[in-house]
Structure 1
Amino acid sequence: MGTTIGSFADIIGEDRKARQEHSWTGSFLDYLELVRQDPSIAKLAHARLFEAVTKAGVTELGETDDPRLNRLFGDERLKVYRYFEKDFFGIERSLAQIVRYLHSAALRGEESRQVLYLMGPVGAGKSSLVVKLQRALEEAEPVYAIDGCPIAEEPLHLVPVHLRRSFSDVLGVSIEGELCPLCRHRLDTEFNGRYEDVPVVRVAFSRHRRQGIGVVPPVDPNNQDTSVLIGSVDISKLDRFSESDPRALDLSGAFNVGNRGIVEFIEVFKNEPEYLHTMITATQEKFVPAPGRHGTVYVDCAIIAHSNEAEWQKFKADHTNEAIMDRIVVVKVPYNLRLTEEIKIYEKMLRESQFRAHIAPHTLEIASMFAILSRLEP
């Protein structure tokens, strides 16, 4: 028993030591020195997500000697990303398209200003894919953010506009974005404009703590409140601050929470088109309206939406939605149609379950054949 307790203590100690190594606190000047040494620290959301997905390794499907795969994919050199290989089977094309989108967006191509939309039948794995991408951020290195900022924004936003070109030349990074209303107020009142003294900390991503990962569920069409997306004015603070005071803001909307990371729209087309205009503004302009009379808030996030094919077809049939459709990158997530991959899916389900019953030989093969045949169209 002593050995077991000791091993647990070692695990806890190693974890605590690793967390302490990831924690960091310093001034903005200290942060500038870190960026000068490693400009990748200040990467944007798409680049951060792309790196988190690809760091596990990449192989090419065309390198296999399996004649069935050669017949299926021909001369197509699909890349297989090891980060997904233990959880998703038979959708290599979809995964390659997702990572291709992230790569282009990371290079600040047109995709960086478009929504990634996963479309497919019920049960194809769209939600699981988004959760896997969110987990990639949770496992990634924490980001540096202004201490006390409600949206954990990039500290380089502190650099005045007229000095940004000079800072960019020295640091080797491009500076974009503006301070949120609350940080702008703090800079003027707490620090008297001395942005070099503003404290900077490291912040980890967490879906459950709503740090860097925002989720927007379907909203009742009769009660669509944009505060779900952009936050609101905290009524409980109005006895201390005026409505025009940034300290009265509650920046807890999905775009505020998902800044620097991911904003997920679940069953996106169940919302009214008017409700999606904020999403398009965030995609194209990288800004969302601030609650009340506080201008706008800069947001840097990868917007990922998903729904089933029927809702997509209904949305696409309405010509008034063309402006929104033009800003969407569609990735189809189909059912798997390969027997070997379907068997892997069932084997994974059994491993993750608590079923311990004996399974007769070839049961999984027969079940997989039946499932695939039920998905084929005449």
Structure 2
Amino acid sequence: MSAGSDLISLIARRQNLDDYKQKHWTGSFAEYLDLVKRDPKVTRTAYQRLYDMILSKGTEEIVVNKEKLLQYKFFEDPDANGEDAIFGLERTLISLVNILKSAAHGYGTERRVLLLHGPVGSSKSTLARLIKKGIERYSKIEEGRLFTYGWKDDGDGAEEYLECPMHEEPLHLIPPEHRAEIVSLLTDEEIPRVYDLKIEGDLCPFCRQMFNERMERYNGDWSRVVQDVRVRRLILSEQDRIGIGTFQPKDEKNQDATELTGDINYRKIAEYGTESDPRAFNFDGEFNIANRGVIEFIEVLKLDVAFLYDLLGASQEHKIKPKKFAQTDIDEVIIGHTNEPEYKRLQSNEFMEALRDRTVKIDVPYVTRLQDEIQIYQKDYNERKVRGKRLAPHTLEVAAMWAVLTRLEEPKNAGLTLMQKLKLYNGKTLPGFTEDNIKELREESEREGMLGISPRYVQDKISNALVAHPTERSINPFMVLNELETGLKHHSLINSDETRKHYRHLLSLVKEEYEDIVKNEVQRAIAADEDALTRLCGNYIDNVKAYTQREKVKNKYTGQTEEPDERLMRSIEEKIDIPESRKDDFRREIMNYIGALALDGKKFDYRTNERLQKALELKLFQDQKDTIKLTTLVSSVVDKDTQEKIDIVKARLIRNYGYDEDSATDVLNYVASIFARGDVKRGGH
């Protein structure tokens, strides 16, 4: 057997033919009515199905700056490869889902265009793409089923069916005068339901012609007409243009309303004799094919004014007007997106007033939480994608830090810097600021996230850094920061020198912050001698215990009792900025903490107290840095003893902080050059 045949057999064995049959179910109209009685969800509107699809992935409650928020797991792109996952837009997504919920229950927003509004690169298109992909996947599973129908063709004897070109709901076949009674008979009170069963909308022009011809043929016997109908399962597909449409405006000379509502098929006019025969019409405009699903309008406000009438009718009346035909019912979610300049133009254009009145604006800002921005870049620059290269620790972090700083507004509180504001938003605690302050900061900065640098610009510059250093195995933060700075000269969306100057200033802030981060890591790597830290901690605790209990300490070497070593205790406490006036409180706090652990039968370990661990590490670093003489790293000659100590520090950087051999060497050299300048701040940062 050949390798090709083996592969074919392999795929054949893995096929699920039962699943294929379910997805391609066909049946009579009577069988469909039975199905509706058992499972009324199959008749949901486009808004109801979209809302249920989002909820089907589940939710979880998260707390962001003391505020409880509902997170919808659907937007994490769980069924795909995570390419379209959305980070940090919880409030935006809550607004969107609330609007969809209102529309699903018929409270009015189903008659509006959902307008995603935000700066370039703020994930408006990603959000629309997620919704389109999601509704496509949902239609393939049992929970998301929907159905359409076709007419038996009276052609050459072979049993063929002419499909409804608008993929409409089969219940439209029930005459309006009988709908209320049929709905009551189809409603089983014992079956739980979220939405009431309704039959809204009439047959499309094509199906109306098929219906009327058969009514005439069967002398008005409706029961015989529906025997000519075959109902089938409908799978939505953007590729096949079924239930998912996308419209992108072109230049005004090339815009044509038929792209939205279909056009006459001139080849068929000869066959059917008239332009107004629906069989001589292609119902293949974006509004037609998106029926039962979603239509996305890219840059919706660039539409020609003539197109807006189609859009207004589609949103408000749920009807479109194909050329030569009566108004035709549609059932679809209309999502448009636009950027800030286009939206401002809408506000100042009186012709657009009707559109403004029929849109629900959903702001999609840039991310303002550092951790979320880092995740955006991690999605694109991970080991799987950046082959043969490594990104040194903090490379994506510094790029994200700069991007977020460009989006933040200067705090009105004079005691708070922009960098501190960034840290507060990212969940760090700062002396004198509580999580309640964060709410105030957000409220005083209404435009925050609607201006600043796009993630796309940062992604482009990270890509530049990766290709601009072909011989380097490791890309470090400075390479990326340099690319970000160089690119500002030619950035097409920065239209003032003042803004450019501000962005350069922010880059210098980021460099300072990175300097602090790496100094701290190297300091901790030097002081990461577990035994020495444990000894220092034991010594400190013995002295604190004696001090708080007004006792003396026994000197381990001389055996004599002595006063607690105030100098030792203060040299540790000063590392974490404990003032003289607060030392007693801090020492009592430590003893209470140890006492509480003892009551639970647990032993004290300095690693469980983050502040104390930091103080001990900085103290040990201060004691040891002179023995290592890091400054000798910048010279070409290093003695064997120093080299061994440096190798230990390097190994700790690799093990504890994610460096590799090259980046650990780079960062040690960099920190050594800082020490050589005599630029080490007391106590790190």
TM-score by length of 2: 0.51
Matched, 1:334 2:365: yes
Mark the CA change 1:163 to 1:81 in structure 2 (over 3 Å): closer, same or farther.
same
**SS of the residue 1:364 aligns to:** helix
Given that residues 320 and 329 in structure 2 are in contact (C-alpha distance below 8 angstroms), is that contact kept between their aligned partners in structure 1? Answer: yes
Counterpart among 375, 379, 392 of residue 344 in structure 1 = 375
Aligned partner of residue 226 in structure 2, secondary structure: helix
Q: Which amino acid aligns with 1:339?
A: L
Q: Which of the pair has the greater relative contact order for Cα pairs under 8 Å at 6+ separation? A: 1
- Contact 1:213/1:258 (<8 A) preserved: yes
**Residue segments in structure 2 that go unaligned for 5+ positions in a row:** 78-84, 140-144, 151-162, 188-196, 411-685
Could you say if the C-alpha distance between residues 8 and 377 of structure 1 is closer, same or farther in structure 2, counting changes exceeding 3 Å? farther
Give SS of 2:392's match.
Answer: coil
One-letter amino acid matched to 1:358: R
Worse-matched range after superposition: 266-275 or 335-344: 266-275
Indicate the residue corresponding to 2:653 in structure 1.
none
The structure-2 alpha-carbon separation of the partners of 1:139 and 1:214, relative to structure 1 and needing over 3 Å to count, comes to same
Letter in 1 for 2:378: E
Q: Which amino acid aligns with 1:236?
A: R
Measured in 1, the distance between the counterparts of 2:204 and 2:383 equals 43
Aligned to 2:34: 33
Q: Is the 8 A contact 1:220 1:271 kept in 2?
A: no
2:57 match: secondary structure: coil
Go from structure 1 to structure 2 and tell me whether the alpha carbon gap of 1:223 and 1:9 turns closer, same or farther (over 3 Å shift).
closer
Corresponding position: 1:59 with 2:50: no
Cα separation, 1, equivalents of 2:173 and 2:105: 24
| Contact 2:46/2:293 (<8 A) preserved | yes
CA deviation profile, 1:111-154 (whole Å, cap 9, x unmatched): 01011000011111111110100011111134200120011000
- Alpha carbons 2:26, 2:230 under 8 Å: kept: yes
Residue 212 of structure 2: aligned partner:
188
Equivalent of residue 240 in structure 2, options 209, 212, 222: 209
- Equivalent position of 1:167 in the other structure: 182
Q: Distance in 1 between matches of 2:280 and 2:316?
A: 28
- Greater alpha carbon shift after TM alignment, 170-179 vs 194-203: 194-203
- Structure with the higher helix share, 1 or 2: 2
In 2, Cα distance between equivalents of 1:212 and 1:353: 34
Distance 1:351 1:132 in 2: 22
Q: Secondary structure at the match of 1:60?
A: strand
AA of the residue aligned to 2:123: G
Residue in structure 2 matched with residue 179 of structure 1 by the alignment: 203
Q: Percent identity among equivalent residues?
A: 38
Count of matched residue pairs: 365
Structure 1 position 107 matched with structure 2 position 108: no
Partner of 2:91: 93
Whichever residue aligns with residue 294 of structure 2, its letter is I
Q: What's the CA shift for 1:359?
A: 1.2
Deviations 1:31-53, CA, capped at 9 Å, x for gaps: 11100111111000000111111
More strand by percentage: 1
8 Å contact kept, 2:249–2:255: no
1:153 is paired with a residue of what secondary structure? Answer: coil
Distance 2:119 2:298 in 1: 14
Say which of 165, 168, 171 aligns to 1:153.
Answer: 168
Q: Select between 335-344 and 187-196 the one with higher mean Cα deviation.
A: 187-196
For the 8 Å contact 2:23–2:235, the answer to whether it is kept is no
State the shift of 1:352 in Å. Answer: 9.3
How far does the alpha carbon of each residue in 1:240-269 deviate from its partner, in whole angstroms, 9 at most, with x for none? 111121111110011100000001111011
Equivalent position to 1:81, from 66, 72, 97: 72
> Do 1:158 and 1:195's aligned partners in 2 also have CA atoms closer than 8 Å?
no
Shift of the alpha carbon at 1:222?
2.6
Superposed displacement of residue 11, structure 1: 6.6
Larger radius of gyration: 2
In structure 2, the residue matched to 1:12 is: 14
Change (3 A) 1:81 1:239: same
Cα distance change of structure 1 residues 39 and 269 upon mapping to structure 2, 3 Å threshold: same
1:80-100 deviation per Cα after TM superposition (whole angstroms, max 9, x unaligned): 100112500011111111111
Structure 2 CA distance, aligned partners of 1:333 and 1:12?
42
| Higher mean displacement: 49-58 or 351-360 | 351-360
* Paired residue type of 1:234: N
Matched, 1:225 2:286: no
Conserved? CA contact 1:269–1:311, under 8 Å: yes
Distance 1:128 1:261 in 2: 18
1:226–1:337 Cα change, 3 Å: same
Aligned to 1:243: 275
Q: C-alpha displacement at 1:190, in angstroms?
A: 4.8
User: How far apart, CA to CA, are the structure 2 residues paired with 1:102 and 1:315?
Assistant: 24
Distance 2:362 2:384 in 1: 30
Aligned residue for 1:291, secondary structure, equals coil
Q: Which moved more, 1:91-100 or 1:218-227?
A: 218-227
Helix, strand or coil at the partner of 1:100: helix
Q: Which whole-Å deviations, capped at 9, do the CAs of 1:190-234 have from their partners, x for residues lacking one?
A: 574534311111111111111000111113223331101110111
Q: Are 1:159 and 1:195, in contact at CA under 8 Å, matched by a contact in 2?
A: no
* Change beyond 3 A, Cα 1:178–1:351: farther
CA shift in 2, pair 1:11/1:179, >3 Å: same
Aligned residue identity for 2:76: E
Distance 2:10 2:102 in 1: 44
Cα contact 1:264–1:303 (8 A) shared by 2: yes
Distance across 2 between alignment mates of 1:12 and 1:374: 51
Cα gap change, 1:363/1:167 in structure 2, threshold over 3 Å: closer, same or farther?
same
The equivalences for 1:254-265 within 5 A come to: 254-265=286-297
3-state SS, counterpart of residue 84 of structure 1 = helix
In structure 2, the partner of 1:66 is none
Q: Confirm or deny: 8 A CA contact 1:120 1:126 kept in the other structure.
A: yes
Contact kept, 8 Å, 1:216 with 1:254, in 2: the verdict is yes
Q: 2:334 matched to 1:303?
A: yes
TM-superposed CA distance for 1:361, in Å, is 1.2
Could you tell me how far apart the structure 2 residues matched to 1:352 and 1:234 are?
A: 52
Q: Which amino acid aligns with 1:185?
A: Q
CA distance in 1, matches of 2:57, 2:12: 26
1:128 aligns with 126
Change (3 A) 1:159 1:322: same
